[in-house]
Structure 1
Amino acid sequence: MSTSACYNVKRRSPELITPAKPTPYEYKLLSDIDDQQGLRLHLPVIQFYAKKESMMTKDVDPVDVIRVALAKTLVFYYPFAGRLREGAGGKLMVECNGEGVMFVEADADVALDHFGNPVMPPFPCSEQLLFDVPGSSGILHCPLLLTQVTRFKCGGFTLAVRLNHTMCDMGGFAQFMTALSDIARGADAPSVPPVWQRELLNARDSLRVTYTHHEYDEVISDQGPIIPPEILKTLEYRYIFFGPDEIRALRRFLPSNFTKCSTFEVVTASLWRCRTIALQIDPEEDVRLVCLVNARAAFDPPLPDGYYGNTCAFPVAIAKAKTIISHNSLEYAVKLIRKAKAEVTEEYMRSVADLMVMKNRPHFTTHNTFVVSSLTRTRYEDVHFGWGEAVYSGLLPGMASFYVPFKNKKGENGILVPICLPNFVINTFSRELDSMLQNNDEFVTQPTLPYIKSAL
């Protein structure tokens, strides 16, 4: 069946899954990293699982397995069963009241192969696989998790979860999902007990900003909506696979002493260049690249095992557009990315927490900003519920580009990268990237398109 065709999904009425045992009623404050404006959003994660004959023989239902495991897991992760409240000065806290997380049971009239071989995005009618239950999508006073399990007629299924990002980052969510899958397979408790202790990432008593945080620069263009409505309607997604051949092709544009630069750095620098060209940003304007960095390893003493709060930082590489699109730009862009990532220390994170309190938790700058993050080390594909590893695991489309591990039809391991751009420039982006991936030693001539003022 063509992946361009939609399909029918029958859903049962949404239900609230509450903890399997009584849990404490209390208020828990989020950290000053957790409750910044840039994290007050939902992250939609989806995992596809193939059928398993032994499970079908035993007539085991993934909906029942995950529903029961979710209730048991919430005994340990009981703040997820609560609701966010906002206190004085915009401070967020969880009312741990056991109201529960939203759960949707569904059946689709297609088989897993409807989504490709290998399974890969874009997924047709993905909103069918993660239904936006009316009244559930707010940040405050709404369920902190929305979960949907959709069975396919072949015996496979998807697990899609929408996460309130203020509660944890993708590393913390991987910890929760590992606990959920362990309990689904018979464990009595998570192998790593969850730790709250959000005060560990709070601002200091004596506030002091010790870094220049360009990621929170105030830009006049940021005063309106993050994505202007006229641009939002035109957005289109492309997914790009970077395997060994593609990485070698991109490395041709770097000097020999850059042989040790990471795949993330060379791919990100290349995408930043092509994106900047496609958007035809004024050459004299600043362009920013925000790398979401997991700062957990920066703390000394280390954060406790089991801490699942946000430990992500938003270091920014910044340059004039004309510098990023120049023919010798890749080496310079890689250096900027390396420098930005290297800034993330424990003191950097303390400085961010202090800045959040001093400036009322600002949103990171979105004007001319490209946001990227690598999920290649989170091991979501290892989370399984008795049906084996996920055949695909990643985020549903959003404005940021989250890199996920992927194996192509040839069996080559690489990364899959989503790109979101207006439909009237995405072909230009593709043409620029294709020119870098071909055997040409020169970039193609920069196209001439109308200068687009946008927040992308």
Structure 2
Amino acid sequence: MNDIMDSEVVQVVESSFVVPNEPTPREGLWLSPLDLILANRGHTPIVYLYSSSNVAAGDDFFDVARLKEAMAKALVAFYPLAGRLGVDDDGRAEITCNGEGALFVVAQADLTVDDLKDDFSPSPELRRLFVPRVETTSVILAIQVTFLKCGGVVLGTALHHVAIDAFSAIHFIQTWSAFSKHGDRATIELPWHDRTLLRARSPPTVHPDALTKFYPKATFSYPPGPIAIQAFVISKDQVASLKRLSGGTSTFCAMSALVWQCTCIARRLPSDSEARLNFPVSVRRRMSPPLPIRYFGNSTLRMGVTGAVRDIASEALASVAGRIKGAIDRMDDELVRSAIDYYETMAMAETDSRPVKGTLPETDLQIISWLGMPLYDADFGWGKPWVMLRAESIRGGLVYLMNDGPADDAGVRVLMCMEAANIKELERLLYEKL
């Protein structure tokens, strides 16, 4: 696919801003410490691929006017996405809710769904062609609708991570698509914008054991060699078998244990070195009282597990999965509050908002789970997407877990970004153990 995409040029047809269709609050939206710690992550690039093959011939597939009208309605409730990044009087980053709108780009590409679907995987080319390029400090939300010559569509989204996490991003996409599909008959759930629910305590108090349970800061460096990206698909039956091998634990714990163990072996790490695994965990239901279900903002905390490479590589999968589950089970209100207090002081000391570059050390792995999320709830009236994925992943040591399609019997897709020299051995080990 990359050869095809490199030789083709996407032509931008239109670029405009979509603003809320009703008056919205004009205010500075305070950002929590869990938001600020992600200020240098920039925009998250996501792409959805749609085929028109199952749509009636008379339908106006992905009508731009209809999409814009629906977005204008959705932005009334999700008004921070129509704002801009700013700074308050104390020098703290905020979202300036000014109603200036989200960027909406329309483009055409001399490509077909068949050209893309056989190898529709993250790459710099995929992002360059189908996701709007916007400055880190500019708009919060940018959209690109690219029409393919076969009638298919690629929808690319760029949402700034300082504003929202995956839960909130999906909430917006669900609302926008519902307005497009159902118009004013759409049933929506309003977002909760009060982020002071995640305000640090006064004075900040970090529990003595807290720093051993979460990872406040990741270390990045430039890799000694090339980085490769590959998706591994694990069938529903293979996942069920893996969960049995892992002691009947969750899909996340079982998959993470398998990937961590195989990565340690594939990387040929010294047996006495310390392997580190970290992963974001939602705090929404782990606080007392819990956050509102439709809390709109960042609400994850990065937990960590460590172990000697010899142990992680040789233990039964059930034991490795138990380590991961144990870390998740330890997350309670006190740990969350301690992390918020710590992040508040760290975020205030951090002045560089430029995106962090580089890869994680070979001893480290970060697994981000989108498992169980309604990733495919993006039916704008013309059916669900054929596939949804991150457009680009260039940081070695990062893994994404997601359901491999909208069907109930979909397996799990493991999107791995790691050293090119080790990725084939990882693939062999993964499937050997299934």
Q: Under TM normalisation by the shorter chain, which class is it?
A: 0.7 to 0.9
Corresponding residue SS for 2:66: helix
Counterpart in 2 of 1:306? 294
* Structure 1 residues 27-426: aligned runs within 5 Å: 27-37=28-38, 40-51=41-52, 56-87=57-88, 91-116=92-117, 120-122=120-122, 125-133=125-133, 136-138=134-136, 140=137, 142-188=138-184, 191-210=188-207, 211-214=209-212, 215-216=214-215, 222=219, 226-228=220-222, 230-231=224-225, 234-247=226-239, 250=242, 254=246, 258=247, 260-326=248-314, 328-360=315-347, 366-367=360-361, 368-398=363-393, 399=395, 400-407=398-405, 412-426=409-423
The residue type paired with residue 30 of structure 2 is: L
Residues 240 and 361 of structure 1: is their aligned pair in 2 closer, same or farther, counting only changes over 3 Å?
Answer: farther
Q: Distance in 1 between matches of 2:39 and 2:309?
A: 24
TM superposition shift of 1:82: 1.3
Corresponding residue for residue 446 of structure 1: none
1:412, distance to aligned residue in structure 2 (A) = 4.9
Q: CA-to-partner distance for each residue in 1:265-297, whole Å, 9 max, x for gaps?
A: 121111111212223333333222112212212
Q: Deviations over 1:157-215 (max 9, x none)?
A: 12111111111110111111111111112343761112200000111123111242244
In the TM superposition, residue 248 of structure 1 has moved relative to its aligned partner by: 5.4
Which residue identity does 1:373 align to in structure 2? I
> Larger deviation: 276-285 or 144-153?
276-285
Given the two structures, how large is their TM-score scaled by the length of structure 2?
A: 0.86
Shift of the 60–13 alpha-carbon distance from structure 1 to 2, 3 Å rule, reads closer
Comparing 49-58 with 273-282, greater Cα deviation is found at 49-58
Q: Judging changes above 3 Å, is the alpha-carbon distance between structure 1 residues 102 and 111 closer, same or farther for their aligned structure 2 residues?
A: same
TM-score (structure 1 length as normaliser): 0.82
Structure 1 SS opposite 2:36: coil
Distance 1:354 1:289 in 2: 23
Q: Distance in 2 between matches of 1:369 and 1:218?
A: 12
Aligned residue for 1:154, secondary structure, equals coil
Structure 2: runs of 5+ lacking an equivalent: 351-355
Deviation (angstroms), 1:24 = 2.6
Alpha-carbon contact 2:20-2:82 (below 8 Å) kept:
yes
- Deviations 1:371-413 (CA, angstroms, capped at 9, x unpaired): 112212221212210011121122223243222212599x952
Q: Equivalent residue for 2:353?
A: none
| Between 23-32 and 186-195, the greater mean CA deviation after superposition | 186-195
- Aligned CA distance change for structure 1 residues 50 and 317 (closer, same or farther; 3 Å): same
CA contact (8 A) 2:141 2:159 kept: yes
For structure 1, the residue ranges without an aligned partner over 5 or more in a row are: 438-456
For 1:379 and 1:27, locate their aligned partners in 2 and report how far apart those are by CA, in whole Å.
30
Per-residue Cα deviation, 1:108-166 (whole angstroms, up to 9, x for no partner) = 2222122236x853579312443443xx231x3x1111211111222221211111111
Shift in CA distance, 266/38, structure 1 to aligned 2, threshold 3 Å? farther
Task: For 1:414 and 1:176, locate their aligned partners in 2 and report how far apart those are by CA, in whole Å.
Answer: 25
SS of equivalent residue, structure 2 residue 402: strand
Q: For 1:81-113, what per-residue CA distance to the aligned partner results, in whole angstroms no more than 9, with x for missing partners?
A: 111124578632111122222221111222212
8 Å CA contact 1:17–1:70 kept in 2: the answer is yes
For residues 407 and 22 of structure 1, do their structure 2 counterparts lie closer, same or farther at Cα, with a shift above 3 Å needed? closer
> What letter matches 2:222 in structure 1?
P
- Residues 44-95 of structure 1, C-alpha deviations (whole Å, 9 max, x = no match): 1111222166564143543332222222221221111111124578632111
Q: Percent identity?
A: 27
Offset at residue 301 of structure 1 (A): 2.9
- RMSD over aligned Cα atoms: 3.0
Count of residue correspondences: 418
Q: CA deviation at 1:230?
A: 4.6
For 1:357 and 1:415, locate their aligned partners in 2 and report how far apart those are by CA, in whole Å. 35
Once structures 1 and 2 are overlaid, which stretch shifts more, 57-66 or 119-128?
Answer: 119-128
CA contact (8 A) 2:277 2:364 kept: yes
- 3-state DSSP class of the match of 2:335? helix
Contact 1:18 1:98 in 2 (8 A): yes
Secondary structure in 2 matching 1:296: coil
Shift in CA distance, 421/192, structure 1 to aligned 2, threshold 3 Å = same
- For the Cα contact (< 8 Å) 1:5–1:124, is it kept in 2? no
SS of corresponding position for 1:413: coil
* Amino acid in the other structure paired with 2:419: P
Deviation (angstroms), 1:245: 4.1
Equivalent position amino acid for 2:227 in 1: L
Alpha-carbon distance in 2 for matches of 1:195, 1:279: 44
* Structure 1 pair 249–55 and aligned structure 2 pair: CA distance change class (3 A): closer
